[in-house]
Structure 1
Amino acid sequence: MLPCRDDVLTITKRLVTIESIVNTKGEKIIANSLYQMISSLPYFQQNPNFLTLEQTLNDHQERYNVLAFVKGTKGKSNRTVLLMGHIDTVGIDDFNQLKDKACDPEQLMEALQTEQLPPSAKVQLESGDWLFGRGVLDMKSGVASHLYLLKYYSEHPEKLNGNIVLLAECDEEDSSHGILSALKTLNRWKKEHGFHYAAAINADFVSPRFDGDQNRYIYKGTVGKLLPSFFITGAETHVGSAFEGLDPNFIAAELTKQINYNPDLCNDAYGETTVPPVSLKQTDLKPTYTVQTALSAYVYYNFFIHSWSPKDVLDKLKEQAVIAFQNALTTFEDRYRRYSAMSGEPYVQHPWKPRVFTYEEMEQLLVQENGENYVNHMKNFKVRLLKDTELDTRMFAARVVEEAWKWMKDKNPAMILFYSSLYSPRIELTGKTEDELALIKALDESVEEIQPTYPYPIVTRNFFPYISDMSFVALSDDETGINAESSNNPGWGTKLFVDYQDIRDINVPVINIGPYGWDAHKKLERMEMTYSLEIVPNLTNLVIQKLL
């Protein structure tokens, strides 16, 4: 066992004291600090070209990644292990009156002594084995573990038969500009130095899966995340003549009832099941108050996947949308008939039927009907829309669909299904390649070897359950699945773009060995020091040794 606890703790605290909230100048500051830290090591003073500070590409923020590598001298292997972790954090507003102490673990823990805390947090605070503060868990202690190993091997390259690469990336908490930019450098190094990326080890946090869960989890592969979205049109009417029109909010409500928490939309693979989709936004698109019903509504849902592709999700949600649309029309008709009977006003049959298009289907129809006029109009519209820097990718996509809808000849109520955000691809680690088999074997043997030194079970599962940059170092989706995502994202190529070829060129099997703790992204974010500062670096090191 490497005697790493004190060193990893010191590095963790140093990183935590640098406030590096995503989309702030703190991302630039921490990257520069990290670069200076690594460049001070003798190995990198002798090999300055083995370390780089690189600004992200096509990014509205100025921020940087730090990448470094050590070439082993034990043998002549080109096998390379990528150690990756993000250096940005979520915000600190949730700390309220303790906001000024959020990034100072010692001061924060002293202040928390007088706070009303949940019993578990109070016990952990008083135990001496837990560290509190923004970023201690997610995931600066994980980055500190990797930094320790980089330093160790820079001092002992003779113990390394192959190479290790450190990637400390920015912007994991928002749009993954960091990892997507770093892929260019990793692929360049692959050519320049002959690296064969045999495995990637991420160090993002792990937590209990349920109350009373004592396991410390290691994950092979990762969950995928999509943001399926619906632009919903109705038939506008004055509220005084409610049944003469169809409120799109009414359809949206039925759609959310159909999709939210629906177990039929959970993806089971290898005995593990995703949580069901849940809505993240539901609104109409009326700019101001009027006494007319809205012309359109907009909803989007978080959607996790293990084995389904983006195309599978579109197919499944289109079915669900048709069901919801029909349910809404049936309820509308029933209530209209009852109202007519009560009021004595005549019932008038409406022509509406469930209509659900994917964005790609609508695009094909509009191009077929309108040709270059439509294509040029939408191209210019997107260019103008990009000037509105207040629009995020989700609202940008909604506005594009809203504009496209104006070209539809049939304006009867409809739903348009599309993706409005970055796709974080799923990764299955199944042993289908020699590198995957070697990584699985190395991990299993390492866990078995280190378990006797730690009192709680270290358990391996197949899918990291949170969104992380693991998604961008390999692809399990085929071309059809990926094309369904890009062809159905209205902001693709303008507001949003991912060069999937960069991912295919890396295509490295990935696992997650990260710090253990509770309440990431919350005021009481904390990590257990024994596991995070001792087990994580040593377990990671065992995997490296067995792989190389």
Structure 2
Amino acid sequence: MLSLNGEHLYRLLLDLVSVPSVSFSREENRAAELIYGKLAELDYFRRNPSYLRYLPAEGDPLGRSAVAALVKVSPEMKRTVILTGHFDVVDAGAYGPLKHLAFSPEELTKRVGELDIPQEARADLASGEYLFGRGVSDMKSGLALEMGLLADVSRTCDFPANLLFLGVPDEENTSAGMRGAVPWLVKLREEWGIEYSAALNGEPSVGGREIPAGAVYVGTIGKIMPFFLCVGKEAHVGDYFDGVSASLLAANLSLVLEGAASTSEEREGRSFPPMACLRFRDLVKNYSVTLPERAVAYYNLLTVEKTPAGVLEEMKAAAREALKRTLGRISEQNGLIRSRGGIAPRAKSFTPRVMDFGELLAGAKKKTPGFDGLLDEFLRSLPPSLDERERGVETASYLLDLAGEKGPLVVTGFLPPYYPPRLNNGKTAGERAVLRAVCRLREDGKEDGLDISTVDVFHGIMDLSYFGFQGNPDDLDALGENMPLWGREYRFPLEDLKQLDVPVANFGPVGKDDHKNGERIHLPYFLSTLPRLFRNFAFYVAEEAGREEPST
């Protein structure tokens, strides 16, 4: 039976975890089928089968789907609170010899002490209050909580708003599930005649060991991945100063950007991590005593307020600085060699350029008859082992050939995935309603002796990013215009995202060591305390969303 009853939650959690739904695997489909089947057993969906749906992700290579289930509390009610979460997990390799038990939490908990786990995890294990296993914390306990609430409300329809459950695959990879669900959210809003008041997620939070208590996150950080295709000037290494090494250019770019304080954003006194390089390599296919002509670097940038358009301009400025430093070093070192009095050639003079990927694409199309067919043929020729980022890099390099562009040059743009930041600035009625609900929830916690903290920004990447774009919609266009394979192999619901503006919050179980071999949740809090608090929070969000604000 589905409900917020502790025993029912526990059994549901074990059932959900038993499906090894590792991200980007067909087991995710089994998880969706399990969730759909559990919800289909509810009397409400037997009476209203059209409100329970699979939502296929368009173009997904594994045919994965989200699961949507709407409980409409009355025919005329439009106000709707979304309960969302992901049912995929990271792989179980961290469990080593106990990998076969990773999806059997009770058995794993009995034996997890055999592994090399942190001392805090050992103390939690000795307490007998924690359940270990892959996905128990991130985030199948949160899904169980949401399904239990949906089931309870479906039996009474005594709630201040409709509830829409949305379970998605692939959050741990590139959020293909949530990206695929966004167009459905726009369609279902019209089909079902509903309005989205807020979206609540059940990702875990870390609590203290003395009195575990969760945190409420009212915003989530964004992520964008700038790439730089560095194009030098080929020359034999014996004629070093006749050319420009793309490796030197990429290295100078790293000195400009890597860990740079200027790339770190702040919000309410909290600094966020600076730019970090995730890949740095040349694009030389075979050994040669030639200066590398092409190299690539791409970076992770966590954002709070920056938009793709703004980041693109910053990256162009960084590329110009890297080119300046590169040519300056070549000239400087050439001068030092010549100053020694020996015979040495003077370094060649070059005019450096920076262009964005959109400009490169336009140039390649202009110079290439039958462009689309050639690009399709090129993509088919790429090894299937390449991921989305590497395919994008190879595509950009191919377009350089088609456009006939030569260095020294830096092409900058973006690689997937992209997550917009989603913040609560208290500017809209919906955002203020969520903040009032958080205040009411914290008062409930105090009655139980719990200090439920409020956190402005969830520092991990999560799907709540996709409930609308905050800012000028035109700023988002720079993303699509400057990402290789946009719309071909990386589908991003740009236009649909512009139609959503849904306040978000995350409130879930107390979990620890997600993605590690010590992943666990605090069972007493999850089974006894959290169900009431979670129901109350959803109730408060629904109630506050329907409350008229005093006119000013």
Q: Normalising by the residue count of structure 1, what TM-score does the alignment of the two structures yield?
A: 0.91
Deviation per CA, 1:66-88, whole angstroms, max 9, x where unpaired?
Answer: 11121225x95321100000001
Q: Which residue of 1 aligns with 2:25?
A: 24
Q: Does 1:441 align with 2:439?
A: no
Q: Name whichever of 403-412 and 301-310 sits farther off.
A: 403-412
Task: Give the superposed CA RMSD.
Answer: 2.6
Residue among 325, 332, 357 paired with 2:330: 332
Q: Which residue of 2 aligns with 1:400?
A: 395
Deviation per CA, 1:387-427, whole angstroms, max 9, x where unpaired?
Answer: 24433321222122212222555623111111011321111
Alpha-carbon distance change, 448 to 108 in structure 1, aligned in 2, over 3 angstroms: same
Q: Which residue of 1 aligns with 2:160?
A: 161
Deviation at 1:212, TM superposition (A): 12
Q: Which residue of 2 aligns with 1:491?
A: 485
Contact 2:4 2:145 in 1 (8 A): no
Distance in 1, Cα, partners of 2:251 & 2:407: 19
Q: Which residue of 1 aligns with 2:466?
A: 472
Matches within 5 A, 1:337-356: 337-341=335-339, 344-356=342-354
Q: Name whichever of 390-399 and 222-231 sits farther off.
A: 390-399
Q: Which residue of 1 aligns with 2:290?
A: 292
Distance in 2, Cα, partners of 1:329 & 1:181: 45
Alpha-carbon distance change, 231 to 322 in structure 1, aligned in 2, over 3 angstroms: same
Q: Does 1:500 align with 2:494?
A: yes
Q: Does 1:529 align with 2:519?
A: no
Contact 1:382 1:494 in 2 (8 A): no
Deviation at 1:293, TM superposition (A): 2.7
Distance in 2, Cα, partners of 1:68 & 1:300: 39
Letter in 2 for 1:298: V
Deviation per CA, 1:47-97, whole angstroms, max 9, x where unpaired?
Answer: 222212233211111222111121225x95321100000001111222222
Equivalent position SS for 1:60: coil
Deviation at 1:450, TM superposition (A): 2.0
Distance in 1, Cα, partners of 2:207 & 2:262: 25
Distance in 1, Cα, partners of 2:400 & 2:119: 54
Deviation per CA, 1:293-334, whole angstroms, max 9, x where unpaired?
Answer: 322011100111111111111112222222222223333333
Alpha-carbon distance change, 361 to 62 in structure 1, aligned in 2, over 3 angstroms: closer
Q: Which residue of 1 aligns with 2:376?
A: 383
Contact 1:378 1:404 in 2 (8 A): no
Q: Name whichever of 255-264 and 345-354 sits farther off.
A: 345-354
Q: Which residue of 1 aligns with 2:308?
A: 310
Contact 1:8 1:148 in 2 (8 A): yes
Q: Which residue of 1 aligns with 2:228?
A: 230
Matches within 5 A, 1:201-212: 201-207=200-206
Distance in 1, Cα, partners of 2:243 & 2:422: 46
Contact 1:337 1:347 in 2 (8 A): no
Alpha-carbon distance change, 48 to 322 in structure 1, aligned in 2, over 3 angstroms: same
Contact 2:212 2:510 in 1 (8 A): no
Q: Which residue of 1 aligns with 2:104?
A: 104
Contact 2:234 2:292 in 1 (8 A): yes
Distance in 2, Cα, partners of 1:246 & 1:415: 12
Deviation at 1:505, TM superposition (A): 3.1
In the alignment, structure 2 segments of 5+ residues that lack a partner are: 544-552
Q: Which residue of 2 aligns with 1:255?
A: 253
Contact 2:258 2:274 in 1 (8 A): yes
Q: Does 1:142 align with 2:153?
A: no
Distance in 2, Cα, partners of 1:225 & 1:511: 18
Q: Name whichever of 58-67 and 339-348 sits farther off.
A: 339-348
Alpha-carbon distance change, 59 to 347 in structure 1, aligned in 2, over 3 angstroms: same
Contact 2:175 2:463 in 1 (8 A): yes
Q: Which residue of 2 aligns with 1:67?
A: 68
Contact 2:284 2:294 in 1 (8 A): yes
Letter in 1 for 2:174: S
Contact 1:420 1:491 in 2 (8 A): no
Q: Which residue of 1 aligns with 2:79?
A: 79
Q: Name whichever of 326-335 and 475-484 sits farther off.
A: 326-335
Contact 2:469 2:500 in 1 (8 A): no
Deviation at 1:30, TM superposition (A): 0.9
Alpha-carbon distance change, 380 to 535 in structure 1, aligned in 2, over 3 angstroms: farther
Equivalent position SS for 1:19: coil
Distance in 1, Cα, partners of 2:475 & 2:531: 36
Distance in 2, Cα, partners of 1:257 & 1:44: 58
- The number of residues matched between the two structures is 538
Q: Normalising by the residue count of structure 2, what TM-score does the alignment of the two structures yield?
A: 0.91
Q: Which residue of 2 aligns with 1:92?
A: 92
Equivalent position SS for 1:422: strand
Letter in 1 for 2:38: M
Alpha-carbon distance change, 31 to 289 in structure 1, aligned in 2, over 3 angstroms: same
Equivalent position SS for 1:85: strand
Letter in 2 for 1:379: D
Q: Which residue of 2 aligns with 1:114?
A: 114
Alpha-carbon distance change, 212 to 480 in structure 1, aligned in 2, over 3 angstroms: farther
Q: Does 1:538 align with 2:536?
A: no
Alpha-carbon distance change, 314 to 406 in structure 1, aligned in 2, over 3 angstroms: same
Distance in 2, Cα, partners of 1:386 & 1:540: 47
Contact 2:4 2:149 in 1 (8 A): no
Contact 2:51 2:70 in 1 (8 A): yes
Deviation at 1:353, TM superposition (A): 4.6
Alpha-carbon distance change, 461 to 354 in structure 1, aligned in 2, over 3 angstroms: farther
Residue among 418, 426, 432 paired with 2:421: 426
Equivalent position SS for 2:412: strand
Distance in 1, Cα, partners of 2:458 & 2:488: 30
Alpha-carbon distance change, 533 to 415 in structure 1, aligned in 2, over 3 angstroms: farther
Q: Does 1:268 align with 2:266?
A: yes
Distance in 1, Cα, partners of 2:105 & 2:341: 67
Distance in 2, Cα, partners of 1:223 & 1:148: 28
Deviation at 1:377, TM superposition (A): 4.6
In the alignment, structure 1 segments of 5+ residues that lack a partner are: none
Q: Name whichever of 54-63 and 297-306 sits farther off.
A: 54-63
Deviation per CA, 1:499-533, whole angstroms, max 9, x where unpaired?
Answer: 22322334211111122322212222222234444
Q: Name whichever of 521-530 and 473-482 sits farther off.
A: 521-530
Equivalent position SS for 1:475: coil
Distance in 2, Cα, partners of 1:77 & 1:542: 20
Distance in 2, Cα, partners of 1:517 & 1:172: 18
Alpha-carbon distance change, 443 to 249 in structure 1, aligned in 2, over 3 angstroms: same
Contact 1:146 1:537 in 2 (8 A): no
Identity value in percent: 28
Letter in 1 for 2:231: T
Equivalent position SS for 1:318: helix
